[in-house]
């Protein structure tokens, strides 16, 4: 039998203050059981000491980022290793082992469906459909359902006669997901299955496949099945298929005493869209309620407009909200007039629905009516109206929003600024620039964000000014806006922001400079390697490495002028950049620094650079008083001699 594990390699953070990382080899016995096969720390510090190394702790903590990297490593396994997992799924010695392998495959399908090759997996899942254990057959059907693999249809069809109810249920679900019409006859037979769960799944599958040949059988199930749940699923399926021959039966369903049945009937009639159902739906309004209202809107027959207008005046708030939506779908002058009047409705939820519907209509008169909701008595309605106006991206909305930008209420001003940003019209920039000086921080934040969305290079001076705003969120937004502009003219302002009192601003600035990647910011970023905040230090480190050799002069100068932990990080950065011309400086640091961690980092850097001229200095370091330095020097020597630094 094949091995029931996978060996993978992932990069794990390690080193003092988490600034470095290295590969670790793991053996994945199951998703819940990982074994560490090898970590470089065991070679450097010995097996016992490695047990408390940061890399080992990271693996034991199993954060989401690490789990994602392990998952990616498993998915990227070569065919030989992947075949191990599929072989266990089909030939495992015990049922539990086969189940575990199938669950592992299904987890991979959940996360990597688009990247996951089916050539190896599908045959294994099809073979597992013939397993002697029902639990394995169920899992195999579930996996094939996720893949939606047409090649599995013949095997799945045969399994609809399985003795296990759970297997038949999963198979019907899989056939619906795959959507192959060759499964329709056997799914029709499954509408007579002794299990109501299987009958329900068969009805749903037929609805998904959408073949009209299933309509007569579904009508019979809808009218005659002794399970209300099956009748409900049959009604849904008839709506999904959309064949008008089902309308008489569904009209009959409107008279049912069961809420589930008459509501499903109304929804199905709306989905089919046959106007012959309109009179029955109107007659059922008092009993069926909102589902009938929605169905009238979906059918779109103007005959329903008068009764919907009446409901808008006299119905409860939920009926009025649904009537607004239905009138919007039907359209016409009378419908629009009624919707416009509803901006004064006593219910907040109705007024919010009015905003959405007017936004969908989107003509000048609808936008004009919608803009009145910017001054609604409820702040949530105001914000919603502004969001809808922004989402329309209509030029008709701009004058109304610019006017609201100078309104007395801060909430309205902020919402208007956000909406103008969503529209993205450059003509609104002057008004938004004025809003950057607003007395309310939420308005200023929305204005800066809107300018960022518009993205004009003419706003650099305004954004630079916003870096001095009293609100940290405004400063962060200004930093991110400058980063997106990407002009080197913004670098002085961003380097100044690296000294901001809020670490979030400093982090955003470091990330922005890394995105722009101009060497003129290198020296400022090197100084940030000594920041109090770990995330800020890490971001600055990444930015420096991204600059590559352009950052070397700043690193060299800073190495000579700095001390302590900063020197260690500078040396590590030089090692990752691998600039051979500074090897002699690193040799000097290795031999003369009073700090063991700096000397160890220097040895590592020399190994990474790979200059054989550094061997003499490294050999001297073998006699260092610190064991960590000795081990680092030994590894560097091995690396240089083996020529593995490339």
Report how far residue 528's alpha carbon sits from residue 497's, in angstroms, rounded to the nearest whole number.
Answer: 11
pLDDT at 34: 76
Task: With a cut of 60, say whether residue 117 has pLDDT above it.
Answer: no
Do 622 and 547 belong together in one domain? no
Map 271-284 to HEC letters.
HHCCHHHHHHHHHC
Query: Where among 255, 277, 299 does a domain terminate?
Result: 299
User: Which tens digits make up the pLDDT trace of 575-609?
Assistant: 888 888 889 999 999 998 888 988 998 999 999 88
Render 361-430 in DSSP notation, one character per residue. H-SHHHHHHHHGGGG-SSHHHHHHHHHHHHHHT-GGGHHHHHHHTT-S-HHHHHHHHHHHHHHT-GGGHH
Lowest average pLDDT, out of 62-71, 88-97, 304-313, 587-596, goes to: 62-71
Task: With a cut of 70, say whether residue 116 has pLDDT above it.
Answer: no
* 306 within some domain: no
Strand order in the sheet with 33-38: 6-14, 20-30, 33-38
Task: With a cut of 50, say whether residue 115 has pLDDT above it.
Answer: no
* 14 within some domain: yes
User: Which tens digits make up the pLDDT trace of 367-408?
Assistant: 999 999 999 999 899 989 999 999 999 999 999 999 999 877
Query: Where among 33, 50, 75 does a domain terminate?
Result: 75
* 436 within some domain: no
CA atoms within a 13 Å half-sphere pointing along the CA-CB vector of 223: 13
Q: Which two tokens stand for residue 98?
A: 């086969």
pLDDT at 311: 95
User: Which tens digits make up the pLDDT trace of 226-252?
Assistant: 999 999 999 999 999 999 999 999 999
Do 459 and 539 belong together in one domain? yes
Report how far residue 37's alpha carbon sits from residue 73's, in angstroms, rounded to the nearest whole number.
Answer: 15
Task: With a cut of 80, say whether residue 218 has pLDDT above it.
Answer: yes
User: Which tens digits make up the pLDDT trace of 37-54?
Assistant: 888 776 665 555 556 677
Taking residues 563-584, what's their average pLDDT?
A: 85
Question: Above pLDDT 90, what percent of the chain?
Answer: 61
Report how far residue 502's alpha carbon sits from residue 186's, in angstroms, rounded to the nearest whole number.
Answer: 66
Name the band, by pLDDT with cuts 50, 70 and 90, for residue 178: very high
Q: Which two tokens stand for residue 186?
A: 């056997």
User: Which tens digits make up the pLDDT trace of 468-486?
Assistant: 999 999 999 999 999 988 8
Q: Number of structural domains, the chain? A: 4
Helix (H, G, I), strand (E, B) or coil at 579: coil
CATH assignment at residue 476: 1.25.10.10
Instruction: Provide the mean pLDDT of the chain.
Output: 88
pLDDT at 2: 44
* 340 within some domain: no
pLDDT at 445: 96
Taking residues 517-532, what's their average pLDDT?
A: 90
Question: Above pLDDT 70, what percent of the chain?
Answer: 90
Query: Where among 75, 102, 129 does a domain terminate?
Result: 75
Using left for φ > 0, alpha for ψ between -120 and 50, and beta otherwise, residue 563 falls in beta
* 34 within some domain: yes
Name the band, by pLDDT with cuts 50, 70 and 90, for residue 644: low
Do 484 and 548 belong together in one domain? yes
Torsion of CA 467, 471, 472, 475, to 10 degrees: -20
Do 219 and 280 belong together in one domain? yes
Helix (H, G, I), strand (E, B) or coil at 28: strand
Taking residues 260-266, what's their average pLDDT?
A: 97
Task: With a cut of 50, say whether residue 645 has pLDDT above it.
Answer: no
| Cβ atoms of 444 and 474 closer than 8 Å | yes
Do 626 and 541 belong together in one domain? no
pTM score above 0.85: no
Task: With a cut of 90, say whether residue 512 has pLDDT above it.
Answer: yes
C-alpha to C-alpha distances, 254 to 266, 292, 301, 553, nearest whole angstrom: 7, 9, 19, 80
pLDDT at 99: 81
Taking residues 394-423, what's their average pLDDT?
A: 90
Do 632 and 554 belong together in one domain? no
Closest CA to 153 of 199, 192, 230, 205: 205
Q: Which two tokens stand for residue 110?
A: 């959940």
Report how far residue 28's alpha carbon sits from residue 31's, in angstroms, rounded to the nearest whole number.
Answer: 7
pLDDT at 458: 80
* 20 within some domain: yes
Q: Which domain holds residue 469?
A: 455-558
| Cβ atoms of 433 and 401 closer than 8 Å | no
| Cβ atoms of 398 and 420 closer than 8 Å | yes
Return the beta strands (E) in 358-501 as ranges: none
Task: With a cut of 60, say whether residue 75 has pLDDT above it.
Answer: no
Do 294 and 196 belong together in one domain? yes
Report how far residue 281's alpha carbon sits from residue 296's, in angstroms, rounded to the nearest whole number.
Answer: 7
pLDDT at 50: 57
CA 281 centroid distance within chain = 41
Lowest average pLDDT, out of 25-39, 191-205, 395-409, 432-446, goes to: 25-39
Kindly tell me the burial class for residue 208, based on how many C-beta atoms sit within 10 Å of its own C-beta (0-12, 13-18, 19 or more): middle
| Cβ atoms of 535 and 503 closer than 8 Å | yes
Q: Which two tokens stand for residue 12?
A: 């794990």
CA 123 centroid distance within chain = 31
Do 571 and 539 belong together in one domain? no
User: Which tens digits make up the pLDDT trace of 331-341?
Assistant: 999 999 999 99
* 276 within some domain: yes
Q: What ranges in 160-258 are assigned the alpha helix state H? A: 165-178, 184-190, 196-209, 215-224, 228-241, 247-253
The better pLDDT of the pair 55, 283 is held by 283
Lowest average pLDDT, out of 25-39, 60-74, 258-272, goes to: 60-74
Do 542 and 574 belong together in one domain? no
Do 514 and 571 belong together in one domain? no
* 115 within some domain: no
Do 196 and 288 belong together in one domain? yes
Q: Which residues pair with 339 in a beta bridge?
A: none
Do 484 and 546 belong together in one domain? yes
């Amino acid at each position: 039998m094949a091995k029931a594990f996978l060996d993978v390699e992932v990069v794990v953070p390690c080193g003092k203050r988490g600034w470095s990382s290295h590969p670790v080899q793991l053996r994945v016995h199951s998703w819940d059981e990982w074994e560490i096969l090898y970590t470089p720390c065991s070679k450097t510090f010995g097996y016992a000491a490695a047990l408390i190394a940061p890399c080992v702790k990271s693996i034991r903590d199993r954060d989401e980022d690490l789990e994602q990297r392990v998952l990616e490593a498993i998915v990227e396994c070569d065919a030989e290793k992947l075949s191990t997992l599929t072989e266990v799924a089909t030939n495992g010695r015990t049922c539990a082992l086969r189940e575990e392998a199938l669950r592992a495959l299904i987890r991979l399908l959940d996360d990597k469906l688009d990247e996951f090759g089916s050539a190896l997996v599908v045959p294994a899942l099809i073979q597992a459909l013939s397993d002697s254990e029902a639990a394995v057959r169920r899992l195999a059907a579930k996996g094939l359902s996720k893949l939606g693999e047409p090649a599995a249809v013949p095997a799945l069809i045969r399994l609809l006669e399985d003795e296990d109810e759970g297997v038949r249920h999963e198979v019907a679900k899989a056939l619906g997901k795959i959507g192959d019409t060759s499964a329709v006859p056997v799914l029709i037979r499954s509408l007579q299955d002794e299990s109501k769960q299987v009958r329900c799944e068969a009805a749903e599958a037929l609805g998904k496949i959408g073949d009209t040949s299933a309509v007569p059988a579904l009508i019979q199930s809808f009218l005659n099945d002794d399970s209300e749940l099956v009748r409900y699923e049959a009604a849904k399926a008839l709506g999904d298929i959309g064949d008008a021959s089902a309308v008489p039966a569904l009209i009959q369903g409107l008279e049912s005493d069961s809420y589930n049945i008459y509501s499903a009937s109304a929804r199905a009639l709306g989905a089919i869209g046959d106007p012959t159902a309109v009179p029955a739906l109107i007659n059922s309004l008092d009993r069926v309620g909102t589902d009938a209202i929605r169905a009238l809107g979906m059918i779109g027959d103007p005959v329903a407009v008068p009764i919907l207008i009446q409901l808008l005046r006299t119905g409860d708030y939920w009926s009025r909200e649904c009537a607004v939506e239905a009138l919007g779908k039907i359209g016409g002058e009378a419908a629009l007039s009624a919707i416009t009047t509803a901006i004064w409705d006593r219910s907040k939820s109705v007024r919010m629905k009015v905003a959405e519907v007017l936004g969908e209509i989107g003509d000048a008169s609808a936008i004009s009516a919608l803009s009145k909701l910017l001054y609604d008595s409820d702040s949530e309605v105001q914000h919603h109206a502004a969001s809808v106006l922004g989402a329309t991206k209509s030029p008709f909305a701009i004058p109304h929003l610019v006017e609201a930008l100078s309104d007395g209420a801060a909430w309205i001003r902020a919402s208007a600024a956000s909406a103008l940003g969503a529209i993205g019209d450059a003509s609104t920039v002057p008004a938004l620039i004025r809003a950057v000086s607003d007395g309310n921080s939420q308005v200023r934040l929305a204005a800066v964000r809107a300018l960022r969305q518009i993205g004009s290079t003419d706003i650099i001076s305004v954004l630079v000014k916003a870096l001095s705003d009293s609100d940290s969120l405004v400063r962060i937004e200004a930093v991110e806006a400058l980063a997106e502009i990407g002009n080197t003219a913004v670098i002085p302002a961003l380097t100044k922001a690296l000294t901001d009192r809020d670490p979030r601003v400093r982090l955003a600035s470091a990330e922005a400079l890394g995105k722009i990647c101009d060497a003129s910011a290198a020296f400022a970023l090197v100084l940030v390697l000594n920041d109090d905040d770990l995330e800020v230090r890490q971001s600055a480190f990444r930015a420096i490495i991204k600059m590559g050799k352009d950052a070397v002069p700043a690193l060299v100068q800073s190495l000579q002028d700095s001390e302590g932990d900063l020197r260690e990080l500078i040396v590590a950065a030089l090692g990752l950049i691998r600039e051979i011309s500074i090897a002699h400086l690193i040799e000097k640091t290795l031999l003369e620094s009073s700090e063991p961690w700096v000397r160890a980092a220097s040895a590592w850097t020399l190994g990474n650079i790979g200059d054989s001229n550094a061997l003499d200095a490294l050999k001297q370091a073998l006699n260092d008083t610190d064991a960590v330095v000795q081990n680092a020097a030994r590894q560097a020597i091995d690396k240089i001699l083996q020529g593995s630094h490339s």
